[in-house]
Structure 1
């Protein structure tokens, strides 16, 4: 929110308290005129996105006329397009500072009118025209000469009033400049907040991509190692099944040989030594898998260290501290620059 009114405090070269104060108040009054109704802003004052002000009634009148254009109208001061949401004019923010300044201005105007009618309570025919600096109260000339303020320091009431009015105007100007500075800092921090959100989104995407790469590498490596286990398993199964077939063939031949031996025992013409030689030749040279051939313990991976490393994956603290210090430094620069500019004004 920007509270700038556009008036300047009285210059150092102004002659007399009334000259600078009167010109400043006149300039202030010009800044409090609504560009639509050309009268002083009426409560509540709304601030447009372009930072210009309107009476809410005037803004609502414009909105009602332009409502068939989708709630869009142009600022009467700068022609900037204003887009209202479903709340219409009531969705615009009130400019409380301008309202307070108008109240103060009107109070001063009322005080100025009342000043002409103020009469001394003790000297009913005497107007209050001086200000007692010692007691800090308005009084009349008779009170200074014969009354309770005869030993006090006094000054012309109009001079004191104009000086206080000038001081108040200067205070308003300083307050407006301070609000400009605060608004600039807020805008900068809002921009930084937006940048933080955008950087956070990018870093989340980057982190997710990094982990996806790690998962892809693990999946690829898993498939490779699973393939090696499967390959050796198939080779061992092929070898063992080949031996099973060989032993099955031998078993079948042995059964046949037994049957032949039984038949031969009934025929005494076949030499027994020949029969035993055949049986011995049938039972020799039978291959068997070596001890532990079925074990697959050679496929063992030690993942303890890798597991701990994965569980302890973290961000680089040095980089985080560097980013934090960089952001903090940028905010300090903006603050000091804005502060110096405000002081120079």
Structure 2
């Protein structure tokens, strides 16, 4: 029966269950009043009516810390454990009534001043237990006193309420900790998503720059090939002319070695004509000074560098400006925006100006005689 009595004790008030309710699904039992006190202390901002919470919320079992979600009836929506109530009634009828009243213990505290007097009252003024003689003749004769058992019940109830309040505070603090941990996870996820978004934006910008670099290099390559092809062709012409002159020189040297004057004179006349023709280079083109210069394809990124350094995260007003720019592209040049949208827009507008005019790339070399 002693073991049974221990099973019928509420873990909050440490008394036998009064209207016990079962907490699903952990199946632990609490007094309905104790459960309501814990629930109110854990949910101080929920609406109440008649001293009880009338709205749903979360309730954590003080025995196993298992959390359940209550409906709009709060604790009063929990199922009463009629089996435990019946067992308590049977226990009270069969055991408590037949159990002999406990004998008064001999080790009951005695008054330190009046050694023969037992402590049986409580001094409310001094907040200490004392004996009747101290009230009548001793140091507590002018103090206000109360029966010891009433103060015992009062302070026991206060201690029970304090424990229940601490249980509720622990639940509330645990809820705050869980919320903070969830916020940390949300911040980490948001940070990863925003960093991925930033990387995507910069990759897009890199792709645009790579495309513009390829287009500009194509322009330079086209001009380079055009000039090189022209100079290679002119080199071949000068090489052919030099080869012709070399052959004429060899023929002249052979003619000088001719001992017969008549033969020499016959061969010298056409030779003089060939020498005169070979000496005339007016038909060969000449490259003007500075033809090899490619400075017209030089670029400067000072303005673009300033635009890139001003890249920053967008604000709400920047998004509105982006929408307006998408509607009217012609008016973008007159608008002043800040942040990433302005920087990218400025960069996109200035990139085409880095290329030289089309007429310069097809410029032909001047010839001179």
Partner Cα separation in structure 1 for residue 301 and residue 106 of structure 2? 92
Partner Cα separation in structure 1 for residue 204 and residue 106 of structure 2? 82
SS of equivalent to 1:298: helix
Q: Could you say which residue in structure 2 is the equivalent of 1:268?
A: 265
Deviation at 1:264, TM superposition (A): 6.7
Larger relative contact order (CA 8 Å, sep ≥ 6): 1
Name stretches of at least 5 consecutive residues in structure 1 with no aligned partner.
1-6, 10-22, 39-49, 56-74, 79-112, 320-345
SS of equivalent to 2:217: helix
Q: 1:191 to 1:137 in 2, by over 3 A?
A: same
Partner Cα separation in structure 2 for residue 117 and residue 318 of structure 1? 77
Deviation at 1:312, TM superposition (A): 4.6
Deviates more, 1:188-197 or 1:122-131: 122-131
- Which residue, out of 177, 182, 186, partners 2:177? 186
Q: Could you say which residue in structure 1 is the equivalent of 2:304?
A: 306
Name stretches of at least 5 consecutive residues in structure 2 with no aligned partner.
1-9, 30-58, 69-103, 259-263, 318-369
Q: What per-residue deviation string (whole Å, max 9, x for no partner) do you get for residues 63-118 of structure 1?
A: xxxxxxxxxxxx9x99xxxxxxxxxxxxxxxxxxxxxxxxxxxxxxxxxx989812
Contact 1:129 1:157 (8 Å CA) reproduced: yes
**1:161-172 → structure 2 map (5 Å cutoff):** 161-172=152-163
Q: 1:200 to 1:259 in 2, by over 3 A?
A: same
Deviation at 1:179, TM superposition (A): 2.2
Q: Could you say which residue in structure 2 is the equivalent of 1:224?
A: 215
Q: Could you say which residue in structure 2 is the equivalent of 1:127?
A: 118
Contact 1:8 1:173 (8 Å CA) reproduced: no
Give me the CA root mean square deviation: 4.0
Deviation at 1:137, TM superposition (A): 1.5
Deviation at 1:181, TM superposition (A): 2.1
Contact 1:133 1:155 (8 Å CA) reproduced: yes
Q: 1:53 to 1:176 in 2, by over 3 A?
A: closer
Q: Please give the TM-score of this superposition, normalised by the length of structure 1.
A: 0.55
Q: In terms of Rg, which structure is larger?
A: 2
**1:237-248 → structure 2 map (5 Å cutoff):** 237-248=228-239
Q: 1:309 to 1:27 in 2, by over 3 A?
A: farther
Partner Cα separation in structure 2 for residue 180 and residue 169 of structure 1? 17
**1:108-257 → structure 2 map (5 Å cutoff):** 117-257=108-248
Q: What per-residue deviation string (whole Å, max 9, x for no partner) do you get for residues 241-288 of structure 1?
A: 10011111111222333445566777335786x766654444222101
Q: Could you say which residue in structure 1 is the equivalent of 2:286?
A: 288
SS of equivalent to 2:245: helix
Deviation at 1:52, TM superposition (A): 5.7
SS of equivalent to 1:310: helix
Contact 1:25 1:169 (8 Å CA) reproduced: no
Count of paired positions:
230
Partner Cα separation in structure 1 for residue 143 and residue 171 of structure 2? 42
Deviation at 1:51, TM superposition (A): 6.4
Contact 2:121 2:146 (8 Å CA) reproduced: yes
Deviation at 1:304, TM superposition (A): 2.5
Contact 2:62 2:167 (8 Å CA) reproduced: no
Partner Cα separation in structure 1 for residue 136 and residue 61 of structure 2? 53
Contact 2:125 2:145 (8 Å CA) reproduced: yes
SS of equivalent to 1:290: coil
Partner Cα separation in structure 2 for residue 228 and residue 133 of structure 1? 102
Partner Cα separation in structure 1 for residue 11 and residue 161 of structure 2? 8
Deviation at 1:146, TM superposition (A): 2.1
